[in-house]
Structure 1
Amino acid sequence: MGLTQAQAADKPLRVGVRGGTDEQIWEVVTKVARKNGLNVEAVVISGAASPNEALNNGDLDANSFQHIPFLRDQIKQRGYKLSVVGNTYISPIAFYSKKYKSIRDLPDGAKVAIPNDPSNQTRALVVLRDAGLITLRDGFDPFTGTVSLNDITAYKKKITLTEAASVVLARSLEDVDTAAIVNTFAYQAGLIATRDGIAVEKRENNPYVNIIVVREQDKNAAWVAPLVKAYQSEEVRQFIQKQYGGSVVPVF
């Protein structure tokens, strides 16, 4: 259904989200949009159902639940015709430690734990690179690929890297000098990246920022800019900062 028809019938724009953080934020976005004359409905997609499949099929007008590498992989695997139209927030991965206040304080021989899945391992290695502990292979671009331990070209500090599932890392902080923990599990353990992290993922030029996505055919539609503007509003920024206290960081 074309958007002009949807608006003419006063049917809301349907935006697919996951429950939890995105659902809470979009409650605020829909209120801001309504004040600006845009009728938006956040549709919670649960279980194995794919918000990208639903968007590609036209059951949704937009979705807001993923970062760029996830979308890139989905497009590659499924051939979806989808486009990014705006940034929302980042849930930064960070290194945490019970023993040290800064990653630069790590001694030679420090035990450093990182996630074992490709996406989060890449994020952790980029943080170590940015902190000056390692160098990664030439030509690596996080927007187009991933890296693993095999892509470390030099250790600028003698550290021992071990891999573990993200769910395990938050529980094993006592056993290592520092561990890179994704936001979901860090938050459950009472850790907030911007408050407790000894090295935190940068938000600038970061492919792991979450995004608003529409079908390619809709990317220049009249409703897209107002929808993105409603999300990237001062009201939404303040809600995110107050509600999540630094575990979720606005990127707008």
Structure 2
Amino acid sequence: MHTRSVLRALGALVLASTALWSQTAALAQSQTLRVGVRGGVDEEIWEVVTKVARRNGLEVKPVVITGSASPNEALNNGDLEANSFQHIPFLNDQVKQRGYKLVSVGNTYISPIAFYSKKHKAFKDLPDGARLGIPDDPSNQTRALVVLRDQGVLTLREGFDPFKGTATLADVTGYKKKVQLVEAASVVLARSLEDVDASAIVNTFAYQAGLIATRDGLAVEKKENNPYVNIIVVREKDRNAAWVKPLVQAYQSEEVRQFIQTRYQGSVLPVF
């Protein structure tokens, strides 16, 4: 009698689990998920994500947003179900400035900023008084300063947290190595590498110059605990929607990981 009761209970549990899975799958398949992306890397990766998702019963349609059109505005207005093009500081600034009700639901990849040089083979080879180029825009200047902090070149103000704000030269509290920091636009840094000892160049322009962070970088930003990891974003009200988890899982699949590693050869790094 006891055995029969246990079997009945197990049977009921299996049926309940099957019903729940079927309900979730049905909800997830009830619409085509429009995901806003930028052209280039994100567009290429999401072509693979779409195939993985479809095999798992989820229909995804990447929508390439061009020009000055905002993927966050489109998402907030309900023209998209998700987007995938930005990192956390950018999203936080957009939420603060524009009042968007958007949240991150999963990590994708990082395009690491790195210091490159045509004069030196290693960061330790930089001479005293080395001229180091750093980006003049807030987010990328922050990234460059964090790399220099991690390399033991300088210190930043106490309590600085890149997840909560940016850093400028005014936040440098001391130097452990004698260097001269030269601010310039990222595109200028990439084109004038011969004029300095080393420059921090964002991946977009480094890649165009034939430079890959993990191969050519003298010092590369860390993946761990890094706010500049790119993310998948949805509306706050959809945070727990049935399709969110399957969508993130499709992106964070081994097939997508292998594609990123093979296609971009270290200039784009999966963070999942």
TM-score scaled by structure 1? Answer: 0.96
Map of 2:170 onto structure 1: 150
1:164-217 deviation line (CA, Å, top 9, x unaligned)? 110000111111100000000000000000100000010110000000000000
Change (3 A) 1:104 1:9: closer
Map of 1:67 onto structure 2: 87
Distance 1:210 1:128 in 2: 22
Q: Give the deviation of 1:7 after TM superposition.
A: 5.1
Q: List runs of 5+ in structure 2 lacking aligned partners.
A: 1-23
The one-letter code sitting in structure 1 at the alignment partner of 2:71 is: P
More helix by share: 2
Distance 1:95 1:34 in 2: 40
Check conservation: 1:95, 1:200, Cα contact below 8 A.
Answer: yes
- 1:131 counterpart (151, 157, 173): 151
Distance 1:154 1:171 in 2: 29
Q: Residue 157 of structure 1 aligns to a residue in which SS?
A: coil
Percent identity between the two aligned chains: 79
Check conservation: 1:104, 1:131, Cα contact below 8 A.
Answer: no
Aligned residues: 248
Q: Does 1:177 align with 2:186?
A: no
Q: Does 1:114 align with 2:114?
A: no
1:64-89 deviation line (CA, Å, top 9, x unaligned)? 00001110111011100011000000
Q: Does 1:105 align with 2:115?
A: no
Check conservation: 2:86, 2:231, Cα contact below 8 A.
Answer: yes
Distance 2:233 2:36 in 1: 10
Distance 1:9 1:204 in 2: 34
Q: Give the deviation of 1:95 after TM superposition.
A: 0.0
Q: List runs of 5+ in structure 1 lacking aligned partners.
A: none
Q: Does 1:24 align with 2:76?
A: no
The one-letter code sitting in structure 2 at the alignment partner of 1:177 is: D
Check conservation: 1:95, 1:180, Cα contact below 8 A.
Answer: yes
Q: Give the deviation of 1:230 after TM superposition.
A: 0.2
Distance 1:139 1:99 in 2: 35
Q: Does 1:228 align with 2:253?
A: no
Map of 2:9 onto structure 1: none
TM-score scaled by structure 2? Answer: 0.89
- 2:187 counterpart (130, 145, 167): 167
1:4-31 deviation line (CA, Å, top 9, x unaligned)? 9x95884311111111110000000000
- 2:73 counterpart (22, 44, 53): 53
1:128-173 deviation line (CA, Å, top 9, x unaligned)? 0000100000010000101111111110000011101100001111
Change (3 A) 1:219 1:155: same
Check conservation: 1:15, 1:43, Cα contact below 8 A.
Answer: yes
- Counting only pairs closer than 5 Å after superposition, residues 209-248 of structure 1 correspond to structure 2 as 209-248=229-268
Q: Does 1:39 align with 2:59?
A: yes
Distance 1:8 1:105 in 2: 54
Change (3 A) 1:226 1:9: closer
1:103-136 deviation line (CA, Å, top 9, x unaligned)? 1221111111100111100000000000010000
Larger Rg: 2
Distance 1:104 1:9 in 2: 54
- Counting only pairs closer than 5 Å after superposition, residues 80-99 of structure 1 correspond to structure 2 as 80-99=100-119
Q: Residue 86 of structure 2 aligns to a residue in which SS?
A: strand
The one-letter code sitting in structure 2 at the alignment partner of 1:211 is: I
